[in-house]
Amino acid sequence: MRRVLAAMATLAGCAAGPTTPTAALPHAAASTARARGWQLWQELTATPTPAWETWLPSDAVFAGTPITTGTLLFRPPHDIRMNGRIVVPASEPLLYTVLLNEPAAAHIRDRHLASRADLRALGAAIPAFPTAARAIKLVWFPVRATGTTDVPVWDDGWTHRATVSLAGVPGTVPVDRFYHRTLATAAERDAARLAWHDDGVAIGDVVVLVAVHVTTKDVPDWTWTTLWWHDAPDRGRFAADRPASITGWAASYVMDATLDAAMPCMNPWLEARFPGGAASNCVSCHARAAAGAREFLPVTAGRTPATDAYFADKTSTDFMWSVALESR
């Protein structure tokens, strides 16, 4: 655990300063984005089993393999580079899964977007996803079945830790404050060990949901909502405007959202790992999604012009890094 917390502190030190406060952004744009974000979160979590549990793992969609919904398929680690240099090593512990709803998966299948050869044949851009398309990235943190586990908490920096336990240890945070899943099979355990770089992860341990990044094709540039768990979820600007109808574990998450590439918006478990990532923007990052891209950093607020040399000899993938990186 000390290794994990040290890695988080190091990565936070690489990030730029805190994001621009929502209050400093144009009121109408900020309030619209936040209202849409909370509405989406409520839709996804309105039932005991979140809507995303019926979505399809992107790994299986792009591989064309049989799909079993609800299985935890953690991504294997890989290096992230900028200017040819590794800035986030594959040895960093990170558990995440990517899921696509059926309209998004069907678009990939029907348009043959899982094939790199077919992508190249499309030229400058792929056909736009349908308005019903949705995609989600879930970030998890393992909590041991016995004893306690310290989970980092972000407040414009990794400021403190929440001590979590399954067994109701006095003075600790119960796992029911998170959405969580139990590692129930050898396949799930082995995938968690590989991604977390820890052979001590065991069947019976749980993984708690610490971050969510969800996008919907409601508008041409998609909508962008990002959430992360907090031990004091009613405090601070990222808790603002949460409807009282969001209850239970879903009320333990704070949220940022944007509809505009100029409005800073990031998730500490994702973008804050990158140099300058704490001042980045979801739209500007995903607008650079293109087949043939070997690197996507640096990412800052604002759009990369379509005429930029970055897009030369690449096929833009309608904001979907999954298409750009997972096609085969």
Average pLDDT across the chain, whole number: 86
Q: Is 150 left (phi over 0), alpha (psi -120 to 50) or beta?
A: beta
Round to whole Å and give the CA distance between 248 and 246.
7
Per the model's pLDDT, the better-predicted residue between 23 and 88 turns out to be 88
Round to whole Å and give the CA distance between 15 and 64.
37
Chain segment 79-134, per-residue pLDDT in tens: 888 888 888 887 788 899 999 999 999 999 999 999 999 998 999 999 999 999 99
Residue 97, H or E segment: strand 95-100
Across the range 211-240, mean pLDDT stands at: 95
Closest CA to 270 of 297, 293, 294: 297
Q: Is the pLDDT of residue 11 over 60?
A: no
Predicted local confidence at residue 211, as pLDDT: 97
**Best-predicted range by mean pLDDT (85-99, 165-179, 200-214, 296-310):** 200-214
* pLDDT bracket for residue 69 (50, 70, 90): low
Predicted local confidence at residue 320, as pLDDT: 95
Peptide bond preceding 298: is omega within 30 degrees of 0, i.e. cis? yes
State pTM to two decimals.
0.89
17 close to 278: Cβ distance less than 8 angstroms: yes
**DSSP three-state, residue 116:** helix
Chain segment 29-67, per-residue pLDDT in tens: 678 889 999 999 999 999 989 999 999 999 889 988 776
Round to whole Å and give the CA distance between 106 and 282.
24
Predicted local confidence at residue 111, as pLDDT: 95
* pLDDT bracket for residue 18 (50, 70, 90): very low
Predicted local confidence at residue 1, as pLDDT: 47
Instruction: Count structural domains, the chain.
Output: 1
251 close to 47: Cβ distance less than 8 angstroms: no
Predicted local confidence at residue 70, as pLDDT: 65
Helices (H), 84-240: 102-110, 116-122, 186-196
Chain segment 284-311, per-residue pLDDT in tens: 889 989 998 877 777 777 788 888 888 9
The number of residues in the chain equals: 328
Q: Is the pLDDT of residue 22 over 50?
A: no
Across the range 171-189, mean pLDDT stands at: 94
**DSSP three-state, residue 255:** strand
Domain of residue 302 covers: 2-326
Predicted local confidence at residue 68, as pLDDT: 67
Predicted local confidence at residue 3, as pLDDT: 52
